[in-house]
Amino acid sequence: MNFGVFFVFAALSACCPTNYETKTEPVAHMKVFFTPSTDCEQNIIAEVNKAQQMDIAVYSISNIKIVDSLINAFHRGAQIRIITDRTQAKGKGSLVEKLKSAGIPVVTNKKTKIEHNKYAIFDNKHVVSGSYNWTENASKFNSENCVFFDQLSEEYSRRFEYLWNLYQK
C-alpha cells in the first residue's frame, strides 16, 4: 500500500471517536505537498477559487493570499464557514477579523482547550488536511505538509458539523 494512502486511512480512522462507523475506502485521487514552499498555499487557493462551498477548520490563519482568495470567493457567492482557535484568532498577524469584516462566518473554540485541526472541505467532495497552518511562516520557513484527496465518506464533514454546532453554543 502506498504510504500516502495509508496516512489517509489512518487519519480517517483515528480522526474522531464517535458512535458511527469510520469508512476506510480507497482514495481515488491524492496529492501531497511539503513546505517550505508555496505548494500548499497555491493548491489551497486553487481549490478556493473553484469551490462553491467551503467548511474550514484551521488552527491559525494569517496568510494574506489565502485570506484574500477566501474573501473573493465569498463575494462571488461561495458559502464559507471557518472554525479557528480563539487564542490564535487574537494573535499578532491573525487575519480572522478581516474575514469576519468581509461577512464570512467564523467561530472559535469555546469548549476545547485548542482548536488544532487543519483541514478544509471543498464542495463536500475534496479535502485538504495535514500539519499545514494557513500562515505565511508555514509556506516560507516551516517543515509542514498538506494532503489533498477526495472525500469518499463523510467523516470530515460530520466532524466539522459537530464542532460548528458545539462552538455556536
Q: Strand pairing partners for 83?
A: 57, 107
Q: Determine phi and psi for 134, rounding to 5 degrees.
A: -85, 60
State how far the Cα of 117 lies from the Cα of 132, in Å rounded to an integer: 10
The catalytically annotated residue of 65, 98, 116, 126 is 116
pTM, 2 dp: 0.84
Q: What is the pLDDT of residues 99-153, one digit of tens each?
A: 999 999 999 998 899 999 999 999 999 999 999 999 999 999 999 999 999 988 8
Q: Going by CATH, does the domain composed of 3-168 fall within 3.30.870.10?
A: yes
**Residue 75 annotated among the catalytic residues of the structure:** no
The structural domains of the chain, with segments of one domain joined by +, span 3-168
Task: Say how many CA atoms lie within 13 Å of 156 toward its Cβ.
Answer: 30
Among the listed residues 39, 68, 98, 123, the single catalytic one is: 123
